[in-house]
Structure 1
Amino acid sequence: MIWTTKTHELAATTCQHTGASCPALERMLVALCGALDTARDMTEEDFEITGDSLLDGCTRHCPARFFASHDRIRVFCEVDTAAERSGLDRFADALLSSDAKAQPADHLPHRPCSFGEAIPLSAA
């Protein structure tokens, strides 16, 4: 699913468990967009927040890892806290970026059941 807010263009994949979009993931992406937009004037360009959370409202109570900066926000659902960011980013890039290198999915030990990305409209 792809949609736009006043500040970001967002994309989210279908949940592999439910076969539908995840409203909890979508809410988390929108909340992170709002937080980063609010913080923009008070932070440096390289400001970033990362963390782990449980998706409130997810029927499976999936854990989520997020990486949010002024350039890009990504949320990965149902991944272990030990999952390496570089592998998760390569996985997301393979699905969302037209110039990303292909990679076998079995090279990622912690494949997300769903993920979302938000890019500021000024960069989209």
Structure 2
Amino acid sequence: MKRTSNHKITICTSCKHQGTNCRPGYELIERLRNAIETAGDSVTESFEISGVACMAGCGRPCTVAYHGTRKATYLFGDIDPETDIDDLVSFARQYAHLHDGWCSSVDRPGKLRQTTLARVPAAIIAIEDDQALVS
């Protein structure tokens, strides 16, 4: 039986460094998968890591999103596959333990303090009690 992950990391695969054909997203996916696997038990939740064609962060390659069930989503830009892996793994560790995914910029590791493009609150669906609707 395949285990389903409650946490996902999505990386843009179409971002290019300005003036080049370099698309660092694929390299970042491979490096991050290896680093998460190496981290083992220190990253207590299982993260699914995948690529997507575009996350509209073209001016800030590579863009990386962290999202989880009933948690805020984060979008980071200007991520370098060679230098930012430790910060991404540290944030995965942190994000896995955040009940609602919410943290301030000063609590994010290293470079991620300055490269946050967006924090999107979790979708909350309000369910009204049927009896409250009866008048």
TM-score, with length taken from structure 1: 0.38
More strand by share: 1
TM-score, with length taken from structure 2: 0.35
RCO comparison, higher one (Cα < 8 Å, 6+): 1
